[in-house]
Amino acid sequence: MGAYSFAMAWAIYKITDAIVTFRVRPEQEESGLDLSQHAESFV
């Protein structure tokens, strides 16, 4: 049962990852995720 659950979760993850990416671009990661994802800034 555990192997089946793992396989189904992995398959759903792969399908979802192919449609919508979970990772940010390297440029966004370098500039900071607060700034690129949430429009936060230090005042």
Predicted confidence (pLDDT) per residue in 14-35, tens digit: 999 889 877 788 888 787 777 7
Secondary structure tally for the chain: helices H, strands E: 3, 0
At residue 32, the pLDDT reads 78
CA-to-CA dists, residue 33 to 17, 28, 43, angstroms: 20, 6, 17
CB 41 within 8 A of CB 35: yes
As for how many domains the chain has, the answer is 1
7 lies in some domain:
yes
Domain encompassing residue 17: 2-38
pLDDT at site 43: 63
pLDDT for res 42: 66
Q: What is the pLDDT of residue 37?
A: 72
Higher pLDDT, 4 or 35: 4
Structure tokens at 4: 């089946």
Question: Does 12 fall in a domain?
Answer: yes
**pLDDT in the model for residue 2:** 95
For the record, the structure tokens of 22 come out as 């979970």
pLDDT at site 38:
72
| Interacting residues of 43 by C-beta distance below 8 A, sequence separation 6+ | none
